[in-house]
Amino acid sequence: MMGGTVIVWCLATARGSCPEATMTIPRWTPSSDITRREAFLLKRLQRTLKLYKFLREQRLELFDAAFQDELATMYRDTEEGKQAVPPAQLAMAILLQAYTGTSDAEAIENATVDPRWRMVLGTLSPEEEEPPFSQGTLQRFRQRMIAHDMDRRLLERTVELAMKTRGFDYKKLPKDVRLAVDSRPLTGAGKVEDTFNLLGHAARKLLKCAAAIAELEPGEVAEAIDAPALVASSTKRGLDIDWKDPEQKASAIRKLIAQIDRLEAWVRQQLGDAAESPPLSERRVST
In this structure, the answer to whether residues 34 and 53 fall within a common structural domain is: yes
In this structure, the answer to whether residues 162 and 271 fall within a common structural domain is: no
In this structure, the answer to whether residues 224 and 279 fall within a common structural domain is: yes
In this structure, the answer to whether residues 18 and 151 fall within a common structural domain is: yes
pLDDT digits (tens, 9 = 90+) for 162-208: 888 888 776 665 454 544 444 433 333 444 345 677 788 888 888 88
pLDDT of res. 76:
64
In this structure, the answer to whether residues 55 and 132 fall within a common structural domain is: yes
Q: pLDDT-derived band of residue 18, with 50, 70 and 90 as boundaries?
A: very low
Please say which residue of 161, 186, 211 terminates a domain.
186
> Distance (Å, rounded) from C-alpha 170 to C-alpha 161?
9
DSSP-assigned states of every residue in 181-196: HS-GGGTTTTTTS-HH
Residue percentage of the chain with pLDDT more than 90: 32
* Helix (H/G/I), strand (E/B), else coil: 22: strand
Please say which residue of 186, 207, 231 terminates a domain.
186
Residue 240 confidence (pLDDT) above 70? yes
Q: pLDDT-derived band of residue 109, with 50, 70 and 90 as boundaries?
A: very high
- Taking all residues of the chain, what is their mean pLDDT, rounded to a whole number? 77
pLDDT of res. 176:
46
- Higher-confidence position of 69 and 24: 69
CB atoms closer than 10 angstroms to residue 155: 19
In this structure, the answer to whether residues 125 and 9 fall within a common structural domain is: yes
Task: Report which residue type is found at 14.
Answer: A
pLDDT of res. 115:
95
pLDDT digits (tens, 9 = 90+) for 130-167: 899 999 999 889 888 888 888 878 888 888 898 888 88
In this structure, the answer to whether residues 182 and 75 fall within a common structural domain is: yes
For 177-204, letters b (16+ CB in 10 Å) and e give bbbbbbbeebeebbeeebbbebbbebbb
pLDDT of res. 222:
93
Range of the domain at 114: 2-186
Please say which residue of 135, 169, 186 terminates a domain.
186
In this structure, the answer to whether residues 129 and 22 fall within a common structural domain is: yes
pLDDT digits (tens, 9 = 90+) for 43-87: 999 888 888 999 999 999 999 999 999 999 998 645 454 558 999
In this structure, the answer to whether residues 135 and 245 fall within a common structural domain is: no
In this structure, the answer to whether residues 241 and 269 fall within a common structural domain is: yes
What is the total count of domains within the chain?
2
In this structure, the answer to whether residues 23 and 142 fall within a common structural domain is: yes
- Higher-confidence position of 179 and 5: 179
> Distance (Å, rounded) from C-alpha 265 to C-alpha 159?
25
Residue 266 near residue 224 (C-beta atoms within 8 A): yes
Helix (H) or strand (E) run with residue 70 in it: helix 65-72
pLDDT digits (tens, 9 = 90+) for 249-267: 777 878 888 899 899 889 8
In this structure, the answer to whether residues 161 and 211 fall within a common structural domain is: no
